[in-house]
Structure 1
Amino acid sequence: MLSYLHGFHAGNFADMHKHAALWLVLSHLRKKKKPFCVIDTHAGSGWYDLGSDQAAKTGEWKDGYARAKAEPNPPEMLAAFLDHVARFDPVAKGRDYGVREEDAYRGPFYPGSPFIVREMLREEDELILMELHPREHETLHHRVKRDGRIHLHKRDGYEGLVAMMPPVIRRGLVLMDPSYDVKQDYQKAANAVQHAWEKWPNGTFMLWYPILEDGFDGDLRTSFGAIKASGGVLCAELAADQGGAKGRMRGTGLLVINPPWQFDQQLAEIGVWLAKTCKFPGPAQHSINWLVAAQ
């Protein structure tokens, strides 16, 4: 199914948690001179206008990014990410960021994962994007086509990830954040990541998933607990005890294979702060658990 459009949800509490974790991994990769690659399997359209009709319809960013930006004294690494988002202005970049003169932009803007990564790439690094939704792919192509470090593929992210393993640059990250429009996506995601890790055991893999009242996230944790990665497998969840309406998210989760050194401590500090700052269906908590201990 290709009905999901992230423009309705950009900047929500799930993005805050997921993208802060992404920022931590990218910051770690940049510490060494060796090049790195990032593979983003469900890339979306690249960046989002929070003043658009889509964002206004749900208003989710006001309970996520807006609250985090307004609250003083965030953790140091989260503050760096929030400053990056606050400075992000694709209109100022013009055609290089795919801005069309005929389109009306209202702002503020929020970078999706492709543009969070793009801002952290060095000349020798590489970003591989996959997006199957026709309209999202077309928009993303227009926005990244001028950057030679970025390679965009119109293909299924589950199949494409496994087919591309191992990458030419053997240092880097895979980010998978499907829409989970159908329950089969949970098993597809688990299978794809496991098969990709078997071909690239030293890579870092990050899978995002929603925590729902009637969700299947327990199956994901079980599957990832069987992956005996030398760097361990980490589970981080930011969620309220109750989710309100059926089908609505009560939280957000990340499963990370081979996380960087001190990633768990940094994300724990950020997650606790977000639990107090963002708006959830009820009181929220952040948890960090090692499903597989690092060797």
Structure 2
Amino acid sequence: MLSYLHGFHAGNFADMHKHAALWLILEHLRKKKKPFCVIDTHAGSGWYDLGSEQAAKTGEWKDGYARAKDGANAPEMLQQFLNYVAAFDPVAKGRDYGVREGDDYQGPFYPGSPFIIRDMLRDEDELVLMELHPREHEMLHHRVKRDARIHLHKRDGYEGVVAMMPPAIRRGLVLMDPSYDVKQDYQKAAKAIREAWEKWPTATFILWYPILLDGFDDDLRKSFSAIKASGGVLCAELATDQGGAKGRMRGTGLLVINPPWQFDQQLGDIGNWLAKTCKLPGPANHQMRWLVPAA
């Protein structure tokens, strides 16, 4: 299965797809004056140095973000996100982003979901982060502790997201992006999302999953097909039929409950462009289908 620490994979083709979808939904939430709440169940360390030893070991970002950044004619909303990433510089932010004097970073940098969300929050909005890994939690705490809009919990995201439902702010998004260290994570993710949705049925939920040669993702799609959300359930996958060794991704998938209006069209354009621009183990394509049609 996959490595737990996201530093090895930051900025890869899966991040491009997942974070573009996140950006679209955050832009939608910002259109209304009412406050919103975002819950990120597997937050990681917040942001990543693409010049680090971890990133250099795999070089995955060179086939994802680097190719997208240099690609031509990106869809408008994706280009906005790429411009944001290109300008993301935690060193320039200093202590507010957890950078201490004497820290040695190489750059360039890539924001994880906590900082993509943080930079899209308004004063009245809130972000709830969960991270169980001790080192990742400690690093994330240092990086977000100065922001009163952010609430960080050291707890299991599968348990925590159900326990916290519904939040005080009844408009928002849940992002679940597990490590999938073991195959049981697929079942845990499906169960947690289902139970959380039952308590907060008006929210948007995003579940990311890797598409592996093993095919564990089949059960996820079947499980989500039983969620009769009024806004529907959308499945979006960027993948290739070819694929590397056991445990290596041949693609990336998103299951989205209650996606906002026109999200499917926008993500469809972005996914098709990424399929032509990023490098996967083989020729890639982007497929979308409604598992549950919107009412």
TM range (shorter): over 0.9
Structure 2 CA distance for aligned equivalents of residues 27 and 40 of structure 1: 17
* SS at structure 2 position matched to 1:291: strand
The one-letter code matched in structure 2 to 1:223 is: S
Q: Mind listing any 5+ residue stretches in structure 1 that lack a counterpart? A: none
Conserved 8 A contact 1:12-1:62: yes
The one-letter code matched in structure 1 to 2:248 is: R
TM-score by length of 1: 0.99
* SS at structure 1 position matched to 2:42: coil
Q: CA deviation at 1:2?
A: 11
Question: May I ask how many residue pairs the two structures share in their alignment?
Answer: 295
The superposition leaves residues 203-234 of structure 1 with CA deviations (integer Å, 9 ceiling, x where unpaired) of: 00000000000131000000000000000000
Structure 2 CA distance for aligned equivalents of residues 200 and 18 of structure 1: 22
The superposition leaves residues 42-94 of structure 1 with CA deviations (integer Å, 9 ceiling, x where unpaired) of: 00000000000100000000000000000121000000000000000000000
* SS at structure 2 position matched to 1:121: coil
Aligned residue in 2 for 1:270: 270
Aligned residue in 1 for 2:222: 222
* SS at structure 1 position matched to 2:110: strand
Aligned residue in 2 for 1:115: 115
Aligned residue in 2 for 1:104: 104
Q: Which moved more, 1:151-160 or 1:240-249?
A: 240-249
Aligned residue in 2 for 1:128: 128
Runs of 4+ in 1 over 6 A off after TM superposition: none
Structure 2 CA distance for aligned equivalents of residues 3 and 240 of structure 1: 21
The superposition leaves residues 145-193 of structure 1 with CA deviations (integer Å, 9 ceiling, x where unpaired) of: 0000000000000000000000110000000010000011000000000
Conserved 8 A contact 1:276-1:284: yes
Conserved 8 A contact 1:239-1:286: yes
Q: How does 1:1-295 map to 2 (within 5 A)?
A: 4-295=4-295
Q: CA deviation at 1:245?
A: 1.3
* SS at structure 2 position matched to 1:101: coil
Structure 2 CA distance for aligned equivalents of residues 100 and 94 of structure 1: 7
Conserved 8 A contact 2:2-2:248: no
Q: Mind listing any 5+ residue stretches in structure 2 that lack a counterpart? A: none
Structure 2 CA distance for aligned equivalents of residues 7 and 282 of structure 1: 24
* SS at structure 1 position matched to 2:266: helix
Using a 3 Å threshold, how does the CA distance of structure 1 residues 81 and 2 change in structure 2: closer, same or farther? Answer: closer
Using a 3 Å threshold, how does the CA distance of structure 1 residues 156 and 291 change in structure 2: closer, same or farther? Answer: same
CA RMSD of aligned residues (A): 1.1
Conserved 8 A contact 1:210-1:252: yes
The superposition leaves residues 103-156 of structure 1 with CA deviations (integer Å, 9 ceiling, x where unpaired) of: 200000000000000110000000000000000000000000000000000000
The superposition leaves residues 234-284 of structure 1 with CA deviations (integer Å, 9 ceiling, x where unpaired) of: 000000011121210000000000000000000000000000000000000
Q: CA deviation at 1:3?
A: 6.2
The one-letter code matched in structure 2 to 1:235 is: C
* SS at structure 1 position matched to 2:48: strand
TM-score by length of 2: 0.99
